[in-house]
Copies of this chain bind each other. A is one copy, B any other.
């Protein structure tokens, strides 16, 4: 029979088991923290009706959509009725609008699923990737306090992911809008263009942005351009510094004052949420998209790896689901692009050596003793210790090599000596240590070793 070449499409991240375990641990850590803060799980179908999915989009997004057709629909021809989700925000809006009467508001949901984008194939760009989102959706109104809770969740997630020091950057779109107004840039479109330039600050540098602002399209004075550049370069170095820098911005503009006041209240509450001031700061250059966000905006960066860019971003928006319902649904939320983050951490060699989900391997010395091996495995599994038994006969050295390669920490040997003495020989592959333990103490002993490992990772 002719063989078909086994291959996967470009732009997807398919992992070998040890890497999959590392990714899974990352997803589990994120989920645990989302749940710890009282967010509820939602999963939506991978497919949505095309007209529902593409309501407000168009342009770039529509060009990147994957359309879906069943065999029958394909044969009939015509436009595809279904498409794969390209983010978790549009499905959330559809979900909340559809289930509105069965949900309690403020509705706090987390969603960790894969999304799909028909991107051009390129290193580090994914056509299928995990997003991990939280959002709090209010009915008619939503307290600013939720804007402060979001950084508390971000802090908790990235502290537990243990990928190095990080900073949660905050800004407020009202503050930016008010500042532009105070410079006489009142037209929303002109503001949007100004914000888009400001967004390029990190990539293009201050000179480029200044030239553009003073160029034909904007025609700002040197003074205004300087004011904008000074403004967007404001960063705080502590909680008190953030408050002081906000105070210094007062100009009498109403929108700006409102932005300052919101950002100030948010900062005070972030502190009350127990987030250390080393981990948050204001950064008045952050704009995050042009028309979606209306208040607080967030980005998060790794202090020692700024080139990775923001690893967790989001903000406050006025109305989630205007395309689907007349209800006013303000919200605030963030998204972590987990696949991209995992890929970048691996590229930057920031991921530790993977360890298997399998904790113990019961070796096979003598086929005839198989019932004893199975009984030992049953004992360990009943105690919640993930255990594999060597089922195929083979040399012990080969079994040890397998455990080493597979990242299994404890290799258990039960030979005639051990059986007659009522003990088990344990080889700790990580510590390169070998010891005998009475059968009755085995579970306890392994648990102690495992708990130590959690406190002090090797």
- A: residues with CB less than 8 A from B are 1, 3-9, 12, 14-18, 20-21, 24, 35-38, 40-49, 51-52, 55, 62-72, 74, 80, 82, 84, 93-95, 97-99, 102-104, 106, 108-109, 114, 116, 118, 128, 138, 141-143, 145-146, 149, 152, 156, 269, 272-274, 321-326, 356-358, 361, 370-371, 374-375, 377-378, 381-382, 384-389, 391-392, 402, 405-406
Contacts and interface: CB of A to CB of B under 8 A. Distances in A.
Given A4-B52, A138-B392, 16 more contacts: A5-B52, A6-B94, A6-B324, A7-B94, A7-B98, A9-B48, A15-B42, A35-B386, A37-B387, A46-B116, A66-B82, A104-B406, A142-B392, A143-B391, A149-B391, A269-B370
Contacts of A43: 14-15, 20
B391 A106 contact: yes
5 contacts: A8-B94, A9-B49, A66-B69, A106-B391, A145-B391
A70 B63 CA distance: 8
Contact of A20 (B40, B63, B381, B382): B40
Contacts of A36: 381, 384-387
Contacts of A358: 35, 38, 40
B324 A49 contact: no
Contacts of A98: 6-8
Given A3-B323, A46-B128, A70 B74 contact: no
A4 B314 CA distance: 25
A96 to B, nearest CB: 8
A81 B430 CA distance: 46
Contacts of A93: 6
A121 B145 CA distance: 44
B7 A21 contact: no
A402 B118 CA distance: 42
Given A63-B71, A118-B72, A4 B51 contact: yes
Given A67-B68, A103-B16, A357 B40 contact: yes
A370 B71 contact: no
Nearest to A75: B63
Contacts of A3: 323-326
Given A20-B42, A21-B40, A374-B269, A35 B274 contact: no
A108 to B, nearest CB: 7
Contacts of A64: 70-71
Contact of A392 (B47, B70, B106): B106
Q: Which of A17, A142, A272 has the most chain B CB within a 10 Å cutoff?
A: A17
Nearest 7 pairs of A and B residues by beta carbon: A38-B388, A70-B118, A6-B97, A17-B40, A6-B324, A274-B378, A12-B45
A331 B8 CA distance: 22
Nearest to A74: B67
A69 B80 contact: yes
Contacts of A99: 16
Contacts of A94: 6-8
Nearest to A82: B9
Nearest to A45: B12
A143 to B, nearest CB: 5
Given A7-B98, A95-B14, A103-B16, A374 B274 contact: yes
A62 B74 CA distance: 12
B118 A71 contact: yes
